[in-house]
C-alpha cells in the first residue's frame, strides 16, 4: 500500500494551526504541520505507527494513531492508561511522550 501525503492545510472552523495530513497503511493521520512523514513503522491491534521528523527541532519521532479509541470502554481505558503512563515515565529505554494532538472536530472525535 502506498503512503500518501497532503501538505499542511488549515483546519476549517477551528483556531488550530495548520495540520499535515497523510495516509499510512490505510489510516489517515492529522498532525501538526511541523511533522513530516518519514515512513510507516507498523500496524498492530491498537493502532498504526509511523516515523516522522520534527522540522523545528530535527528530532525523529514516532506517531501512533489509535482508531475508534472510544468505541469500546475497555480499549478507551487502555489507551488512556498508556498516555498517562508515558507522560510520567522517563527512561532511556522507554519512548517519551512528546505531544498529543487535539482532534480537529471534537464533536466527531473517535481517534487518538
Residue 110 pLDDT: 82
Q: Where residue 15 falls among pLDDT bands split at 50, 70, 90?
A: low
**Where are the extended beta strands (E) located within the chain?**
4-9, 19-24, 27-32, 35-44, 47-54, 60-65
Q: Are strands 19-24 and 27-32 parallel, antiparallel or unpaired?
A: antiparallel
Cα distance between residue 36 and residue 51, in whole Å: 9
pLDDT band at 6 (very low <50, low <70, confident <90, very high): low
Domains of the chain by start residue, with CATH = 4-68 (3.30.200.20)
Local structure of 41: helix, strand or coil: strand
- Return d(Cα 20, Cα 3) in angstroms, integer: 13
Could you tell me which residue, 105 or 100, shows the higher pLDDT?
Answer: 100
Amino acid at each position: 500500500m502506498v503512503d500518501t501525503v497532503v501538505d499542511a492545510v488549515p483546519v476549517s472552523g477551528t483556531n488550530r494551526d495548520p495540520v499535515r495530513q497523510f495516509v499510512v497503511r490505510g489510516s489517515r493521520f492529522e498532525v501538526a504541520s511541523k511533522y513530516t512523514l518519514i515512513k510507516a513503522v507498523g500496524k498492530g491491534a491498537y493502532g498504526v505507527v509511523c516515523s516522522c521528523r520534527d522540522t523545528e527541532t530535527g528530532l525523529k519521532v514516532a506517531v501512533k494513531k489509535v482508531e475508534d479509541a472510544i468505541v469500546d470502554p475497555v480499549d478507551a481505558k487502555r489507551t488512556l492508561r498508556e498516555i498517562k503512563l508515558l507522560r510520567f515515565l522517563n527512561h532511556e529505554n522507554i519512548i517519551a511522550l512528546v505531544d498529543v494532538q487535539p482532534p480537529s472536530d471534537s464533536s466527531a472525535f473517535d481517534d487518538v
